[in-house]
Structure 1
Amino acid sequence: MYSDWVITHARHHIQLAFQRLTTIRQHAQTAYLNSLPHYDVYMRFSGAPPIHPMYIQQLQSQIAEAHAEFKRGIDLDWRASVLRYPEVLDYFYSLVELKLPAKDHRSVIEPPFAAAGYQDRGYMAGEPSRVGADKKTMKKRRDSAGAMGHPGVRLMRMQPPQAPSPPTQHPGYPSGYYR
């Protein structure tokens, strides 16, 4: 329950931090491209401005280099953001407070479902665990639970329903369609 809260907030924080870094990088990219000579003319004429081909080639080279650097920077920003994930998770986990009642608290010793008509002897009476219990004790529990009308025992004794076999032919499709 609280781990979902922690993970959601940590992811959200990492994504916001990455978006901030990306926005800064995008603004720097736009400023750099706008500072290149003939860039505004190049963009106005959709990459075919009426200037000397040597300038166009140089400008295209600078634009390609700027785009490659931008992509490398975005990748580095993402890597830096993701590498902070453990630190961010630790921070959000530190915000969670879990309060457990004492083991001798009334709500632990006498839970409300114990008054439902059966005697709850398992926790305080030192009942043997399922792992260490012998088969005779387990059978006795199973039989007594069945005698009390415990629904889980009846379900365990029921056979599972038979699954229908898949159709071999459908009235609307030609013979052999399913093969």
Structure 2
Amino acid sequence: MAPSHVPYVDPRCAICTAPAEASCGCEARALEVAISQAEGRFFSPMFMDVRSWVRARARDYILDYYREISKPCRTAYARHRDVIRATYRAKCPPEDPEPNYRNAERIYRKNIDEAWSLAVLRYPEVLDYFFSLVHISLPDDQDPVLQQPSPGRRRHDDSDDGRPPFNRLGEFRHRRRRVFEPKRSAPIPAFPIPPRQPNGQPAVAGRPGWPTPPPSPQAFPQQPQPGAWSMR
């Protein structure tokens, strides 16, 4: 500890060596640059992992959702073909069935396209949900990673004031990092299935009161295992 009679002197700028009274701002700008570079080194790999995690689960959900809402289309198409075939065999009226088959296929493809569009248009909602499951956990001020004294100091050394040990930053750098993990308490979203008309065509989008589909095993993340999403 410095003697009380020694005056405090503001150091010069570490970047341009201007006197402290000049308030040049070089150090503040350099700090912002250093923070941006550190963020890139530290968070870029984590964000890539999170992005891959969200992308895979959102894609699985959309595909499951599409399969669910396209089932009535396939059922209606199969029944339509059965009716055409039965009518042709009964010859009432006797006519070439090919135009009817082509018309049935046209309707089926139109319904499939609508079902796929309904599913794909839900990507923003689904992505928001899965991104909302990710959170960042920071160590508190009393965490040992911030409080542990450096080696070589005596237990009752007056210089040990609980601040981070500057000569051990290299050891702590990879010991504990920020943690990304799914929230266990997040509610499951209700993504409605559009009701189908008797002919298999989707009803008008936006109709209230749609039922909620049961989640498939691939639609939502499982409970994370211990240490999941821990970046070490």
- TM-score normalised over the length of structure 2: 0.39
Q: TM-score, normalization: structure 1?
A: 0.49
Higher Rg? 1
